[in-house]
Structure formats: C-alpha cells, structure tokens
Chain A
Amino acid sequence: MSVTFKAITTENGKGLFHLFPALCKGCGLCIEKCPVDTIGWAKQLGAFGTPVVEPGHGKPCIACKKCQLVCPDAAIWIERRDGKGRDTSLTAAPEKHVQHK
C-alpha cells in the first residue's frame, strides 16, 4: 500500500520549503534550530489541530536542512532552488523512496 502526503510549498531564500500538514504536530523543535530564524507559526493547522510552521519570519532560508533533519515527524522537506545537493541530505531523495508492502 502506498500513501502520499499533500505539501504546502513556500519559496524562501535558497529553499523550497515543503511542509506536510498531515505530519506536522506543531512541536516547534524546527523553529529553535533554524540558524536564520525564518521559521514561524502558520495559519494552517496540522495533525493535532495545532498550527503548522512556515518560513518567512526571519532572514532568508539558506537551505541548510537543519529543520528537516530535526523534525521527529518528517514533516519538512527542504528542496534547494538551484536543484543541487539532492542526495547529500541525511535522508534519501524522493525518487528512491520505495514503498514496501
């Protein structure tokens, strides 16, 4: 069985900030780890009816992927707008995400 998640995609600085509201539990761990403080609370609600996060609250995103790395729920995917460094993140590129039965 395969499953897909809808993203809210926001362009910011060097990154495309993909946020999956069905996964985001609004814990705020990512907000604390962003080196440019761009992440803040959004209007949309997430998995538990609490606000999800969005970029645009600080300096422009530098696509460091720290937020993606620390999110316990894999609710963020940072895509670089220049298309580089797709495979260098801790997690695999989406093309490689194979769903097993």
Chain B
Amino acid sequence: MAIAAQPQMPRVWRAETKPHKFCPGCGHGIVLKALGEAIDALDIQERTIFGCDIGCSLLSWDFFNLDTVQTHHGRTTPVLVGIKRARPELVVVSYMGDGGAYAIGAQHLVSSASRNDLVTIIVVNNTVYAMTGGQMAPTTLPGQKTETTPYGRDARLTGRPILGPELVAAIAPPGAYVARGSIANIVQLKNFIQKGLQNQLEGRGIAFIEALSSCPTNWHTNAAATWRFVEKEMTAYFPVGELRTPEEKPSGRFQEVPPYES
C-alpha cells in the first residue's frame, strides 16, 4: 500500500515538535537539518547528547530525539565536555550562537580549543544577537546596521568582526577539525559537521564548525535579500572551507598530547 506523503525530516528530528520554534526563513532550521542528516548518516542517535546555549539556539531544546541540555552563554561547551569525560562512549554536540561563543562566553571556547577537548562545536553565525532583538555582535560586518549600530558598524570604534574558526585553528593542537560552512551549501555543511562528529568518534580532538546563517527577522530582509546577504556579503568576509583537518603532522610548539579520554 502506498504511504501517504510525509515530510522528509532527518530521523533524529522530533516530528511532534514541528513546526519548530524558529522564525520563518531562520537559518537555524537549515543548520539543524544538516546536523540531523550527519547524525543519521553516522547512526549515532542513541548515544548523542545535544547541548544548546542562551540565544535563539535554545529554541532547539525540544528539536531532536536526543537527550538535551540547555546552558548559559558559551558554557554549553564545558558542560558537554564534562559529560564526555564522565561518559566517554557518548557523542557530545555543543550548539551555540556567535554572541554566546565569541563574546559573552568566549573564554570557554578558547580553553576547550587549547585543551583539544573531545567535543563537536557548532556555532551559528547570523551576525547579530538575534534573540534579544538584533544588537551588534562580534561578527557584525563593517557598515552593517543593527539595533545598536544604527549608522552601520564602525570598525575603528568597535573593531573588525571576529573570525571564529581562524581563532580556533590558530590555537588548537594537531588532531583538531575546523571548518566554516554555510546554509547556502547544505550538503557541504552536512559533510563538515559529519567530519566533525567523526573526529570526536575517533578520539582525535576538538571539532569546530561555524555555519553562516540567516536571521531575516532582525536583518529585516525578504527571501531574496536574505540569500544575498549570506551568499555575497557574509561569504566575502567569512571564507567558507576547511581550516584544519586531523591528518596534519604535529609540528613546532605543539607537543604530542593526546586528548583527555577519562
């Protein structure tokens, strides 16, 4: 008997909580689709723990059929690293916004990177503090108008946008996996996330993936302008691609210190 047409959600998505809580056109839904596909592909649903941060990422607290914890700005990473150390057989995913990861809770990202913690971190870069109404974030582009930069971000006053993956790539020891993807290329983003989960499964080190994402609500953009901002303006400043892969040879100042595995 033919099965009535049903939505093609990743298996790990929790269908009864859909439609999800994100706004129309929000990139979070696309990133979480890529993450869901990666979890499905690796067949790790039964042992994956999902952590979300303060910010719009927390709207994903009931998104998956996964044990989920919600913590404070940037603390999602150390909370999940703690879970990983207590239960090394689990796979832990830390899901944060750019504000939580690069400003309000940045110290945790820096510490995890230098320790090469076994955690897969996904940072959704939408260039604003979205949940609180679209204020300037560390990632706001020069000249970009936000609630707190009504005349456009002045880089002389507030600095240049933070390059998260470049920062992590610069301090993480060998074994790290670091990449930047985009909602404009979902298959590539899914592959980056899958490699990031694989890195943790193989015990090689930290995995960090930034996803260029959209926030039409705070950008005040229609669909065409939303895609244009992600694909043209964001991509011009934030290059998409892999920055670190675990195959590289340890060199220079890095001693061979394997990641902590309880």
Contacts and interface: CB of A to CB of B under 8 A. Distances in A.
B37 interface: yes
A1 B18 CA distance: 13
Contacts of B15: 2-3, 97, 99
Nearest to A72: B29
B252 interface: no
Interface string A1-24: 111110101000000101010110
B29 A94 contact: no
A26 B4 CA distance: 23
9 contacts: A4-B4, A7-B5, A7-B6, A25-B24, A27-B216, A70-B30, A73-B18, A94-B3, A96-B11
B129 to A, nearest CB: 20
Contacts of A7: 4-6
Contacts of A5: 6-7
B5 A28 contact: no
Interface in A21-39: 22-23, 25-29, 31-33
Contacts of A73: 18-20, 29
Nearest to A100: B65
Q: How large is the interface on B (under 10, 10 to 19, 20 to 34, 35 or more residues)?
A: 35 or more
B37 A91 contact: yes
B33 A32 contact: no
Interface of A: 1-5, 7, 9, 16, 18, 20, 22-23, 25-29, 31-33, 47-48, 50, 68-70, 72-75, 77, 79, 89-100
Contacts of B6: 4-5, 7, 77, 94, 97
B91 to A, nearest CB: 17
B24 A50 contact: yes
Given A32-B224, A72-B26, A72-B28, A23 B19 contact: yes
Nearest to B28: A72
Contacts, number: 109
Interface in B1-55: 3-11, 13-16, 18-20, 22-30, 33, 37, 40, 45
A20 to B, nearest CB: 5
A74 B9 CA distance: 6
A50 to B, nearest CB: 7
Given A32-B223, A72-B25, A92 B10 contact: yes
A39 B5 CA distance: 19
B226 interface: yes
Interface in B51-105: 65
B246 to A, nearest CB: 25
Contacts of B30: 70, 72
B227 interface: yes
Given A3-B15, A27-B26, A91-B33, 15 more contacts: A7-B4, A20-B7, A23-B18, A23-B19, A27-B24, A27-B223, A29-B25, A32-B223, A70-B186, A73-B19, A74-B18, A92-B8, A92-B10, A94-B5, A95-B3
A62 B11 CA distance: 26
